[in-house]
Each structure stands twice: as structure tokens, then as C-alpha cells.
């Protein structure tokens, strides 16, 4: 793993690494991000694996400008107004996913919405232009650690787990972006950050709703969102398939069934399974089965996050 000064050549190399499915840590004006090509589910899965996240939270998708953002999300007048006022900059807009949005479902945790941001940092912007693909990037810290504002922090958290850390000095703002839900008539603040509620109110002419707990610590993001929830009931640790059940398979073992089957990864690869999880739930749901029988997934690495997601789906 290497920390490299973010010159033109390093940025070009990092961009090809991203397109090849690799991970790149890069500076933004808020904090460092741990980026992957948002259109590749396997690359996004590798971000979750590196972060050690206990569950699949939706990630912010970074793009070079608002034109690219409009191809991925639906921009209502409210979103347009906020983008015009604060992009490039430390504001993340949650909008509906565009119909032909190329972003992997794992990056948006199976939601109908997508969080988009155009960062202002010149290195981030140059990287996004060179990469061409949209870049899903959570803050570049291990889950539960504080966000990284210097390349050295990223190195300390990830050691040899990521190939490239672009060093662009210290992040100016040092606080994550403000997250605003712009899908409704009124803006709703999902996370406080560098752009203030007052600035948003000034631009929109409406005081934003506050969709977090209002205290010093925003509510955990998972509480704010309802992830994709299958209509079908989910039965965990299935070792056989009942009449009328759909099978969410994992690995090479074949369970006897005449019903629909979706294999998350026939080779038993957890990264592939993570990348396919939401598509699998969705496609079995679409067959109309009442129950999705899920084969056991090993509780290691990304398996933990997959099992967390499945057990939430099963508890409803
Ligand atoms: O400043 C930042 O925002 C940094 C830099 C790297 O851009 N990124 C960052 O990402 O803080 P992360 O993954 O640590 O935080 C993403 C936030 C979470 O609170 C998540 O719940 C929210 O964005 N989010 C993402 N997609 C969402 C969606 N579709 N709906 C609602 N909230 C969403
Ligand atoms: Mg974070």
C-alpha cells in the first residue's frame, strides 16, 4: 500500500485503479473518502469489507458535476436549487434514483433513493473527471473510528488493505458533508455538517425539517432509512425448501426445489454475494413467493453484514 502525493500522474493511475475495481482513498474538502467504482457491486462490496461495517449503509456517490449527477438521480426544482447553490461543496443531496441509474444496488443499500455529492477539493474533482465512473465513498476510517482528515490517518486505519492513498494534504473542513433529503416539497436535514441549516433555509426560502435527533449526535444513519424490505417473509438458515418458497442460495450445494432460485454466489464468494444481495431479494420477491428461504451464510467478513441484513428482513 502506498501513500502518493496527488500529482497528475498519481491521479491518472488512481483513476484506472478505480475503473479496474480497486479501492482508492482520496481527499475531499470535508474528510478523506474510501472510493470504489459505484457501478461495480464487487468493488462496492470491497469498500464495506475494508471498513468493517456491521451493516450495509447506503454510501454517498461522488461525481464531477451536476450534469453527471442528473444521469444518476432525479433532480426536482428543490434539488436543482440546492445543487446550484452549494455544488461543488460539502453538501450531499438525497434524490430518487434515476430509472436507468448505473449505480450498483449495494451502494444505495437497495433504496429507491441515491445520495449524490460534487466535492470541491481539486484532487477529488480531478480524480472523478479522470475516472469518468461515479465513485461511491464513505469516510476513509474503519467503522466506529473518527473520520480521517489526513492521508496518515487513512494509513493508520487501513494499513495494507487498500492499494492507493492519494495525499492531498489535510482536509479543510474536517467535518462530513451535510446530508439533505431533497425528494419532498421541503428539504429535510438527515445529517448536520459543513453547510448549515440557516444556509439551506436562505437558499430554499423554507426552514428545513430536521430528520435527526437534534442533539449533538445525529441519529445513527440506519435508523433514518428503511432499507429494501422484501414483501416475502424470510426464513433463515434453510437446509431444505418448502412448497411455494423461493430459494436464496449460497455456494455450490443444490437444495431440491421446483420453485425460483437465486444464487448469491455459486462459488461461495462473500464479495459477490454482497453485490448480489439486494438484486436477489428483489428478484425472488418479484416471483410472488410468500417465503424466501435463505441458505446459511458464513458469519465471517462480509458475511456478517449479509446476515445482519437478512436477519432484519426476517424479523419483520
Ligand atoms: O463528507 C462526506 O460526506 C464524506 C466524504 C468522503 O464525501 N463521506 C461520508 O460518507 O461521510 P459516509 O458513508 O460516512 O456517510 C454517508 C451518509 C450516511 O449518514 C448515510 O446514511 C447517508 O449519507 N446516506 C447515503 N445514502 C442515503 C440515502 N439514499 N438516503 C438517506 N441517507 C443516505
Ligand atoms: Mg462516516
Each domain of the chain, given as residue ranges in start order, spans 2-210, 233-314
Q: Is the CB of 178 under 6 A from ligand 1?
A: no
How many Å apart are CA 314 and CA 184, to the nearest integer? 30
CA nearest ligand 1 atom 3, residue: 177
Q: Is the CB of 149 under 6 A from ligand 1?
A: no
The ligand 1 atom nearest the CA atom of 114:
29
**Cβ atoms within 10 Å of 61's Cβ, excluding its own:** 27
How would residue 20 be classed by pLDDT, with cut points 50, 70 and 90? very high
Question: Each residue of 142-167: pLDDT tens digit?
Answer: 888 888 999 999 999 998 778 799 99
Q: What percent of the chain has pLDDT over 90?
A: 80
> 200: part of which helix (H) or strand (E)?
helix 197-204
Q: Is the CB of 192 under 6 A from ligand 1?
A: no
The ligand 1 atom nearest the CA atom of 175:
1
Q: Is the CB of 60 under 6 A from ligand 1?
A: yes
The neighbourhood of ligand 2, an ion, using CB within 5 A, equals 139
Q: Is the CB of 225 under 6 A from ligand 1?
A: yes
Rounded to two decimals, the pTM is: 0.91
Q: Is the CB of 113 under 6 A from ligand 1?
A: yes
Q: What percent of the chain has pLDDT over 70?
A: 94
Ligand sitting nearest the alpha carbon of 101: 1
- Residue 217 pLDDT more than 70? no
The cell for 72 is 444518476
Q: Is the CB of 141 under 6 A from ligand 1?
A: no
Q: Please name the fold of domain 2-210.
A: DHBP synthase (3.90.870)
pLDDT at 218: 43
The ligand 1 atom nearest the CA atom of 179:
23
* Signed CA dihedral, 122, 126, 132, 134: sign only: negative
The cell for 127 is 480524480
- 217: CA distance to ligand 2 center in Å? 13
pLDDT at 52: 81
Q: Please name the fold of domain 233-314.
A: Rossmann fold (3.40.50)
Range 248-270 burial, b when 16+ CB lie within 10 A, else e: bbbbeeeeebebbbbbbbeeebb
What region does 283 belong to: left with phi over 0, alpha with psi -120 to 50, or beta? alpha
pLDDT at 53: 64
Amino acid at each position: 500500500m502506498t501513500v502518493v502525493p496527488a500529482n497528475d500522474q498519481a491521479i491518472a493511475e488512481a483513476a484506472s485503479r478505480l475503473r479496474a475495481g480497486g479501492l482508492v482513498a482520496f481527499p475531499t474538502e470535508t474528510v478523506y473518502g474510501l472510493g470504489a467504482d459505484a457501478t461495480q457491486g464487487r468493488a462496492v462490496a470491497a469498500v464495506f469489507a475494508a471498513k468493517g461495517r456491521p451493516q450495509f449503509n447506503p454510501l454517498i456517490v461522488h461525481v464531477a458535476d451536476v450534469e453527471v449527477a442528473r444521469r444518476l438521480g432525479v433532480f426536482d426544482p428543490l434539488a436543482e436549487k440546492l445543487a446550484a447553490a452549494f455544488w461543488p461543496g460539502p453538501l450531499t443531496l438525497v434524490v430518487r434514483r434515476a430509472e436507468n441509474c448505473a449505480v450498483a444496488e449495494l451502494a444505495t443499500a437497495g433504496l429507491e433513493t441515491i445520495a449524490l455529492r460534487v466535492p470541491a477539493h481539486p484532487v477529488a474533482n480531478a480524480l472523478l473527471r479522470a475516472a469518468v465512473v461515479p465513485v461511491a465513498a464513505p469516510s476513509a476510517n474503519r467503522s466506529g473510528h473518527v473520520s480521517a482528515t489526513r492521508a496518515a490517518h487513512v494509513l493508520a486505519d487501513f494499513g495494507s488493505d487498500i492499494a492507493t492513498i492519494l495525499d492531498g494534504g489535510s482536509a479543510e473542513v474536517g467535518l462530513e458533508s451535510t446530508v439533505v433529503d431533497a425528494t419532498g416539497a421541503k428539504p429535510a436535514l438527515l445529517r448536520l455538517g459543513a453547510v448549515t441549516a440557516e444556509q439551506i433555509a436562505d437558499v430554499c426560502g423554507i426552514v428545513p425539517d430536521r430528520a435527526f435527533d437534534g442533539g449533538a449526535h445525529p441519529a445513527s444513519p440506519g435508523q433514518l432509512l428503511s432499507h429494501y424490505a422484501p414483501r416475502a417473509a424470510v426464513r433463515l438458515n434453510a437446509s431444505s425448501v418448502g412448497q411455494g418458497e423461493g430459494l436464496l442460495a449460497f455456494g455450490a450445494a443444490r437444495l431440491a426445489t421446483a420453485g425460483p432460485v437465486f444464487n448469491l454466489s455459486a462459488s461461495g464468494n462473500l464479495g459477490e454475494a454482497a453485490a448480489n444481495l439486494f438484486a436477489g431479494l428483489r428478484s425472488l420477491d418479484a416471483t410472488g413467493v410468500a417465503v424466501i428461504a435463505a441458505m446459511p451464510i458464513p458469519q465471517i467478513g462480509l458475511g456478517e453484514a449479509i446476515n445482519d441484513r437478512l436477519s432484519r428482513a426476517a424479523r419483520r
